[in-house]
Amino acid sequence: MRRFSTPSLTVLLCLLLCAAPSFAQGVGPGSAAVSQAEAEKWREDLRYMAREMELRHKNLFHTMTREQFETAVRRLDERIPSLARHQIVVELMRIVALVGDGHTNLSPTRDPKVGFRTLPVKLYLFKDGMFVRAAERGHADLLGARVVQIGDLEVEEAVARAREVVGRDNEMDVRFYAPLLLAMPEVLHALGLSESPEAARFTFEKGGRRQTSTLKPAGPFEMLPPDSDLSWLPKEGWVDMRDGAATPLWLKDPKNKFWFEQLPNSKVVYAQVNEVNDKPDETLADFSKRLLSFVEANDVDRLVLDLRLDRGGNGGLLKPFVLGLIKSKINRRGHLFVLMGRSTWSAAQFFLNRLEEYTDVVFVGEPSGSKGNAYGDSRRITLPNSQLTARVSVYYWQDWHPRDARQWTAPDVTAELSSEDYRAGLDPALKAALAYAPRKPLGQVLDEALTEGGAELALKRFREFRADYVNKYAETEEPLLVAGERMLDEKKPEQALALFKLDAEENPQSPRALYAVGVAHFRLGNKEQASKSLEKALELDPKFYEAADLLGQLKRP
């Protein structure tokens, strides 16, 4: 099973708590602190939310500590009288986001009671930066402009601030939600990115020239549906970067839960599943039967299944689809493709998990918005006074190995959308799937290099593999562990250590990598270094019994 990891969420959470006060500033021009009576009601809501979160969440402290949570609640309780309503709401979002899973959130994109507005632009984080993807017709001059600064901060710092109020399974959730939040004037002011919730200053770059514009609210934010990404739909009175270009297949019919067609003059069937739910006139099971019957009965050599707009639904409906794909003639490497990205989430992640486990699928696009071991199935907590809705995860889903430290399902072939691709109506992910040619997997590359020139050559080949853009997000843990274990079996612990150290660098949140480093040091007689690595592995996974046993051996007199 493949593994991937991102920087320590625990470290990031500690930084968040230390930095929180500077990001939630006092009231300023255009806003007023709540009254004393309102402040008490907000305090009641805060305490109710904190209590209910602990009662209902499957494991509220799976990422943060109780002390961190209680400190954050206490700090907000103290500060509520000095804050305006929108600042209190954003601070509630921050506390919920501390939990560290995507189904636990308080989201202004889903809850109309929040009542936040939008600026007259829609932003998106493309491969080459954040751009104005769409705009009100009166701001058409900003269309296609790259966002350089929001207020006085570079856009990267603005995204970092937005990150702290996003309930997330991984960083792809930040890439999805941050552009939405950074177009809400209330959020910008609460995060210290503007002086007032009534206006926000942006610096744009277009045609090689920079301009600064002050944008004002353009009406309420339109709520997003729960299970499909419909944020790409055109809006009356607005213009879009791709106006005038051909509509790519992935945006042909986002509201349609599932559909397929055979591409012209080809042996390729393209199918899109935008929601893991049934239609009124066709179940997902019946659709999968109809799709795969067409594949079997016709001259079809490849199936491209697009899940990029699929934000979930009912994972219990997936079994017939998965079984059908397992039995299908296209269940061969290089013939079954799944296009995925930041919106492939929740039940759509279940789909990825099953296909990775039981088929010879090739994943193409961006990393997914969730992971195989994750908390989910949110339940609502309605705050008694404000009537705001917080959601918390009530189940833990473990589709991967218990020690699988990946933060997402990574693409086998990276294909990210650039601003120019979008402007031209191009689809680099579909293009990559259609142009796919089998290549040596990393495990084979490393194994051949070890035979030819040992660990030194294997490390060189690894760097070459990593330098190839299509491998930008490639999962590396399993191949590196297998290569290192081979060196241990061949009584070459120095070479094993070099490979295991690389694994630990690539996957710093993997207890398996640190355990492997400890084993190699142990074989070399480096007891102190072995103990340090094993202790770090146990910090990440206190129930890593093999690491505990080996550490016990090292500590015996």
Structure tokens at 512: 């398996």
Which run of H or of E encompasses 353? helix 347-358
Question: What secondary structure does DSSP assign to 464-520, as a single string?
Answer: HHHHSGGGTT---HHHHHHHHHHHHHTT-HHHHHHHHHHHHHH-TT-HHHHHHHHHH
Q: Tens digit of pLDDT for each residue in 203-218?
A: 999 999 999 999 999 9
Q: Residue type at 126?
A: F
User: Scanning the structure block, which residue is given the tokens 């305490």?
Assistant: 47
Instruction: Tell me the C-alpha distance between 513 and 540, whole Å.
Output: 11
Query: Angle CA(92)–CA(98)–CA(100) in degrees, nearest 5?
Result: 130
Distance separating alpha carbons of residues 201 and 193, to the nearest angstrom: 9
Give the E-state strand segments of 15-79 in sequence order. Answer: none
The DSSP code sequence of 368-385 is -SS-SEEEEEEEEEE-TT
Strands 302-306 and 268-273: parallel
CATH number 1.20.120.10 is the correct assignment for the domain at 442-555: no
How far apart are alpha carbons 104 and 250 in whole angstroms? Answer: 28
Do 198 and 215 form a contact (C-beta atoms < 8 A)? Answer: no
CA distances from 420 to 197, 213, 257, 427, 434 (A): 32, 23, 28, 10, 20
Q: CATH for 249-371+406-434, among 1.10.3720.10, 3.90.226.10, 1.20.1250.20, 2.70.70.10?
A: 3.90.226.10
Residue 179: closest CA among 343, 49, 409, 61: 343
Distance in angstroms (rounded) separating the CA atoms of residues 234 and 227: 18
What is the per-residue pLDDT for 142?
Answer: 98
Provide the 10 A C-beta neighbour count for residue 260. Answer: 19
Residues of the chain with CATH 1.25.40.10: 442-555
Residue 2: both structure tokens together: 């493949």
- Token pair of 66 as six digits: 């109780």
Contact 373, 398 (CB under 8 A): yes
SS3 53: helix
For residue 392, report the phi and psi dihedrals to the nearest 5 degrees.
-135, 150
Identify the CA nearest to 77 among candidates 120, 48, 108, 110: 48
| Distant-in-sequence, close-in-space partners of 8: CB < 8 Å, separation ≥ 6 | 508, 509
Query: Two tokens at 295?
Result: 């594949």
pLDDT value, residue 230: 97
Residue type, 427: D
The H or E element spanning position 539 is helix 527-540
- pTM value surpassing 0.75: yes
- Mean pLDDT, contiguous 10-residue spans, the chain (557 residues): 35 38 44 94 98 98 97 98 98 98 97 98 98 98 98 98 98 98 98 97 97 97 96 96 96 98 98 98 98 98 98 98 98 97 98 98 98 96 98 97 93 98 98 96 97 98 97 96 98 98 95 97 97 96 95 91
What does the pLDDT read at residue 27?
A: 52
CATH 3.90.226.10 placement within the chain: 249-371+406-434
Q: Which two tokens stand for residue 496?
A: 């094993």
Round to whole Å and give the CA distance between 517 and 512: 9
179 vs 132: CA distance, rounded Å: 10
φ/ψ of residue 69, rounded to 5: -65, -50
